[in-house]
Amino acid sequence: MKSAKRLISLGAVFLFMISPVFSQLDVVKVNIEDGISDAVLKQKMELNATHLMSLFNSTIIEGKSRLKLEDEAFTADGRNCVKDLWESSAMMCPVSSITEKCLSLGEGKGYQLRNLPITMLAADEDSQEQELVINFTSTGQIDNVLVALEQHRYVDIISANISVKDLVRRQTIIEFVENFRTSYNRKDIDYINSVFSNNALIITGKVVKVKEMSDHMLQTLGTERVQYQTSTKEEYIKNLKRCFARNSYINLKFEELEVVRHPIHEHIYGVTLKQYWNSSTYSDVGYLFLMIDFTDPTLPCIQVRTWQPEKYNGKKIDREEIFELADFSI
């Protein structure tokens, strides 16, 4: 498994280079500077986040393959999430101290820490440096760990709200997209199945070669075009299960995220983003579009999913060709 090999080799390098002081370098101190007034709860969250981030480093440095998670620091869901992420890719924290503001998820819904730097060891070299999001319960246990969106995109999306309701939905969309991305890294087929509408429209584009004869039929010229295929939710989930089974790791990265609210149907949002897919058997780059339905605000679901390759015929796809909310009648 690629992640396990990298974990062992990196651990050996660390021990060789810094063996006299490695015990000091595995500790990552997490501090919360604002956002919570309960001093006891704040300290508990800091200790639990410090435990998790430090554990990533100590596990690698000691050459181990499994995390030893303290039960009291996690809910059952939180523990399973961390284990699944680690199984897909070992990771480490490249800094010794993190200070971030704590965000409230709403009354009784807990708290969130963002911008926690990590290095995903199974990812391609140019995609290894990423960030985690930790969600805490209202009592300070780690309940979920997500691979974060780019921070500047997060700020742009939140800042574009036009009402309190729109702000809440944009916050929900960000968490929804981060959960959606992380579910692929974790190979969490149950979560992915749960967020698609039973009647979801799924469109996937692929580049195909087309041979065209010249006017004088003296030579053939190779050209490319994008061929689109539609599938049902059932077909998509079935294919995804096979994909998960044949890949030892999957790492998704999202960039260029855009969120648009439908001008008439205010419960419908379009999300467009650039997706980098890296796995043990296959890698690609393309544009993902999701139509998210907030008819039930507590259970938003995907009504449309499209994917298009970034390039064909040697050039990037035109922005006008990328699917968006206006392309679908509601």
Q: Are 173 and 269 in contact (CB under 8 A)?
A: yes
pLDDT bin (cut points 50, 70, 90) of residue 12 is very low
* Whether pLDDT at 268 is above 90: yes
In this predicted structure, what is the pLDDT of residue 17? 42
Query: Which pLDDT score, from 0 to 100, does residue 25 have?
Result: 59
- Please check the confidence at residue 210 and state whether its pLDDT lies above 50: yes
pLDDT exceeds cutoff 50 at 55: yes
d(CA 233, CA 203): 11
**For strand 129-136 and strand 196-213, is the pairing parallel, antiparallel, or unpaired?**
unpaired
Q: For residue range 135-183, list pLDDT tens digits in order.
A: 999 999 999 999 887 766 677 777 776 677 777 778 888 888 889 989 9
| 67 token code pair | 């995390």
Domains of the chain: 2-148 (3.10.450), 189-327 (3.10.450.50)
Q: Looking at the predicted structure, is the pLDDT value of residue 125 above 80?
A: no
Rounded-to-integer distance, Cα 61 and Cα 15, Å: 6
| pLDDT of 205 above 50 | yes
Mean pLDDT, rounded, for 320-324: 89
Identity at 21, one-letter amino acid code? V
Q: What is the mean predicted confidence (pLDDT) over 308-319?
A: 84
Given this model, what pLDDT does residue 228 score? 87
| Among 201-210, 280-289, 305-314, the least confident range | 201-210
Which helix or strand (DSSP H or E) is residue 314 part of? none
Mean pLDDT is lowest, of 1-15, 206-220, 280-294, for 1-15
State how beta strands 301-309 and 311-312 pair. unpaired
d(CA 200, CA 113): 33
Q: In Å, how far are 72, 84, 125, 227 from 79, measured between CA atoms?
A: 10, 9, 27, 41
Q: How confident is the model at residue 212 (pLDDT cuts 50, 70, 90)?
A: low
The stretch 29-41 carries a mean pLDDT of 94
pLDDT at residue 218, as a whole number: 40
Q: How confident is the model at residue 28 (pLDDT cuts 50, 70, 90)?
A: very high
3-state SS assignment for residue 136: strand
Q: Is 6 helix (H, G, I), strand (E, B) or coil?
A: helix
pLDDT value of position 209: 62
Distance of CA 29 to the CA centre of its chain: 24
3-class secondary structure, 290? strand
CA distance 194 to 24: 43
Predicted confidence at residue 99, as pLDDT, reads 96
d(C-alpha 41, C-alpha 49), whole Å: 12
pLDDT average, residue stretch 202-229: 64
Residue 243 has pLDDT above 90, yes or no: yes
Q: What is the pLDDT of residue 75?
A: 96
Q: What is the pLDDT of residue 21?
A: 39
Q: At what angle do helices 151-159 and 164-185 cross, to 10 degrees?
A: 150
Cα of 101 vs its chain's centroid, Å:
21
What is the residue-averaged pLDDT of the chain?
Answer: 84
DSSP state letters, 214-272: -TTSS-EEEEEEEEEEEE-HHHHHHHHHHHHHH-S-EEEEEEEEEEEE-SS-TTEEEEE
> Residue by residue, what is the 3-state secondary structure of 169-222?
HHHHHHHHHHHHHHHHHCCCHHHHHHHEEEEEEEEEEEEEEEEEECCCCCCEEE
Per DSSP, the residues of 22-76 read: HHHHT--EEEEEES---HHHHHHHHHHHHHHHHHHHHHHHTT-SS----GGGB-H
pTM: 0.75
Distance set, CA 125 to CA 3, 121, 128, 235 (Å): 13, 8, 5, 33
**In the chain, how long is the greatest CA-to-CA distance?**
82
Q: Which of 229-243, 247-261, 314-328 has the largest mean confidence?
A: 229-243
pLDDT for res 14: 43
247 phi/psi in degrees, rounded to 5: -115, 130
Percent of the chain with pLDDT over 70: 85
Mean pLDDT for the stretch of residues 37-46: 95
| Residue 11 confidence class, pLDDT cut points 50, 70, 90 | very low
Report the interhelical angle of 39-61 vs 2-18 (nearest 10°).
90
Quote the Cα angle for 7-148-109, to 5°: 115
Task: Please tell me the predicted confidence (pLDDT) of residue 207.
Answer: 67
Mean pLDDT to the nearest integer, 8-21: 42
Classify the C-alpha dihedral 227-231-233-235 as positive or negative: negative
